[in-house]
Amino acid sequence: MIRLVIVADSLSRARELATLLAEDDRMDIIEARAANGRMVDARADVVLCVGLSHFQTASSRVPVVLIGDSRADIGGNVRALLPLSASAAEISAAVQAAANDLTVLTHEQLLLWMPAQKSHMQDDTPVEELTPRELQVLNEMAAGNGNKDIALALGISGHTVKFHVAQILAKLNAATRTEAVAIGLRRGLIAI
């Protein structure tokens, strides 16, 4: 159970969000209040800050999920920045991620943080379709298997694996195996 403290720009907004999230049985909302400079309850696993542009998060080691239209940076103990229009499911997922020491980025935030990848990630160029065997090899690559392991798993020779890997890289326009796996994940080619 995640112990959650909600701090908002108004008491009514804090209570509204508490009501919205109360149905999630994975969370225990221990406090919902307006921002007033008080320290966050030390029992909290995650702090959810709503509508606050400059909430002081440095004084606490508790992971923070920010909801607002500000352009705050994710870092320190801020684990997610969601828009005010975020759904209950999105907020719940961000809280779950923060409680597990993960950081949540929206697609737009990812593009801002990785400008070198921006043009590639938005590339809608049709990909030459991978064969069923190439999809199997790509899934094995995603599992972290090397060529010998892939050959054993699929009952093919190491030379054949090399050929399939080269075809996958060419068809996905990837420079490395890691990039091919990333592209495969983004495009739904890899079973998760």
Could you give the percent of the chain with pLDDT greater than 70? Answer: 80
Q: What is the pLDDT of residue 73?
A: 60
Q: What is the 3-state secondary structure (H, E, C) of 6-58?
A: EEECCHHHHHHHHHHHCCCCCEEEEEEEECCCCCCCCCCCEEEEECCCCCCCC
Q: What is the pLDDT of residue 162?
A: 94
Q: Where do the CATH 3.40.50.2300 domains begin and end in the chain?
A: 2-113
Closest-CA residue to 121 (of 134, 105, 144): 105
Q: Give the three-state DSSP class for 139.
A: helix
Per CATH, the architecture of 2-113 is what?
A: 3-Layer(aba) Sandwich (3.40)
Q: 173 in the Ramachandran plot: left (φ > 0), alpha (ψ -120 to 50) or beta?
A: left
Q: What is the pLDDT of residue 129?
A: 87
Cα separation values, 124 from 136, 172, 175, Å: 23, 12, 18
Q: Given a cut of 60, is residue 1 above it in pLDDT?
A: yes
Average pLDDT over the chain, rounded to an integer = 82
Local confidence band at 66 (pLDDT 50, 70, 90 cut-offs): confident
Q: What is the pLDDT of residue 124?
A: 46
Q: Where do the CATH 1.10.10.10 domains begin and end in the chain?
A: 132-186
Is CATH 1.10.357.10 what the domain over 132-186 is classified as, yes or no? Answer: no
The residue type at 110 = L
CB 82 within 8 A of CB 94: yes
* Residue that has been written with the tokens 């068809």 in this structure: 171
- The average pLDDT across 40-48 equals 81
Structure tokens of 182?
């990333």
Q: Which residue has the higher pLDDT, 153 or 106?
A: 153
Q: How confident is the model over 152-173, as pLDDT tens digits?
A: 999 999 999 999 999 999 999 8
